[in-house]
Structure 1
Amino acid sequence: MLSAKRNTAIFFKILLIIGFGYFFWLMLKITLEYIPFNPEASFLMIKQTEAIERPEYLTFFYTHVYTSIFVLFSGFLAILRKDFGLKNFHRNMGKVYIFLILICAAPSGIYMGIFANGGILSKISFVILGFLWWFSTFKAYQLARQKKFKEHKQWMWRSFAFTLSAITLRMWKVIIVYLFHPNPMDVYQIIAWLGWTPNILIIEYLITKKHI
């Protein structure tokens, strides 16, 4: 019985790694669209007003795009809680993850949220997401410094739930557009909230049930 449970856990862990690897590759391809700098590439095509009227917008945008891919990667490695034979690997990945979010990814995300497509509802959602992302990451850092590692782990999972919104937002967009063909602005309003709220609700459920 124990062996079956262990094998199931291993299976799901492998599935998780493969799934993350696939979606990480998709996110990497999106990131590479913005190398080299091109203010008319991909998403920026519909943000020309901001790009032209607000010179700082592109700085925040590229900061967010370029750091977020490393946040995804380092966060996943930190969440695995493995050193892979390298001294302090887990700890160092956690440091990279936390530093990039607190200094670069979350602040730039909050700024971009102010100019999000989809009207006021989308803007509110992305700004809230940015603040929650920053706060949960800071809380995880604070608890690690206090050596409260159980609570640190829980807050890291909360933080990573918000990090994964970069992936889940795009997943929901594909599903909604395929099934319902809504107006593009309506899509933004829906996925702005759907991209992160289920993530954090799932994590809170797992924490409540003591699975994390």
Structure 2
Amino acid sequence: MTATTRTAPHPPARRLTRPPARGPRRGRRLWGLVTFLSLGVVGYAVVVYFGFDPSRSTVELREDVPWHYAVLMGHIVTAAVALAVGPLQLSRRIRAHRRVHRWIGRTYLFAGVLPSVVFGVPAAILSTQGAGAAAGLLVGDVAWGVTAVVAYRAARQRRYRDHARWMVRNFALTFAAVTFRVWLPLLILAQVPLLESVHGGDFDALFTVAYTATCWLAFLPNLAVVMLIQRRQGVPSR
């Protein structure tokens, strides 16, 4: 008789499964946060400025310019449209429906961004917080308008990838309405210990410094972060 050897059966092969992708989930969470914050600022603007009462304006008005409040309100109302509609443009589900996406985009640009820039330029020039604040507001408005025009031209020329890139950059500037309200209180609080030593107890001077810095910080970091992310993703800066 010959001895037979039995080999132990091989364990069943395990199927290698990839962990669930985190990118789309993170993207949805980020989109939800951006939408929530954007609508929060829109709601704030409605509460404060509903009724068109100049006495409730949180922006100091020039008494020597009777139409200051009118251009300010035009800027705020149209900016609120852009801020409310803008997050919809970032939704992949909505972008999949081209006709809906196109009409939302037109509303965003022609009822929101572009008229808001037109109103925002004189409103920036009329700022009572000094030349530094006025310059920051003016540069932000011009950049907002330029990115909108570049994005629109790319869409008209069917350069849809360029259009998408510039629209994201444009919304980063739209989102300045949110980040402005984050930076301003932070910069005020950061200077409170310096109120006596630096500003001589003058809170108005402290506020002017914070407001001027906020006029620049509200949009420059937003745009820089978006362009840095796009660069890492291989998106050209043009």
TM-score by length of 2: 0.79
> Match of 1:187?
210
Alignment equivalent of 1:124, drawn from 114, 132, 135? 135
| Distance of 2:114 and 2:41 partners within structure 1 | 25
The alpha-carbon deviation at position 158 of structure 1 amounts to 1.2
Q: Cα–Cα, structure 1 residues 3 and 149, in superposed 2: closer, same or farther, change >3 Å?
A: farther
Does residue 1:31 correspond to 2:54, yes or no?
Answer: no
What do residues 106-146 of structure 1 show as CA deviations (whole Å, max 9, x unaligned)? 11111111022431111111111111100100110000000
**Identical positions, percent:** 20
**1:24-103 superposed matches below 5 A:** 24-44=39-59, 46-47=60-61, 50=62, 52-83=63-94, 88-101=99-112, 103=114
> Aligned partner of 1:121: which letter?
G
Once the 2 structures are TM-superposed, how far is the Cα of residue 23 of structure 1 from its aligned partner? 4.5
The 1-side partners of 2:77 and 2:168 are apart by: 22
Structure number having the greater helix percentage: 1
Q: What count of residue pairs does the alignment treat as equivalent?
A: 207
Which has the greater radius of gyration? 2
Asked if 1:10 corresponds to 2:22, the answer is: no
Say which SS state the counterpart of residue 55 (structure 2) adopts.
coil
Give the distance between the partners of 1:203 and 1:156, measured in 2 at CA: 11
Moved over 6 A (4+): 84-87
Note if contact 1:129-1:162 (Cα within 8 Å) is conserved in structure 2.
yes
Q: Structure 2 unaligned segments of length 5 or more: list them.
A: 1-16, 196-205
Residue 15 of structure 1: how far off its partner (Å): 4.0
Aligned-partner SS, 2:51: coil
Point out where structure 1 has 5 or more consecutive residues left out of the alignment: none
| Cα offset, 1:10, TM superposition | 1.0
User: Cα RMSD over matched residues?
Assistant: 2.2
Q: Return the TM-score normalized by structure 1.
A: 0.88
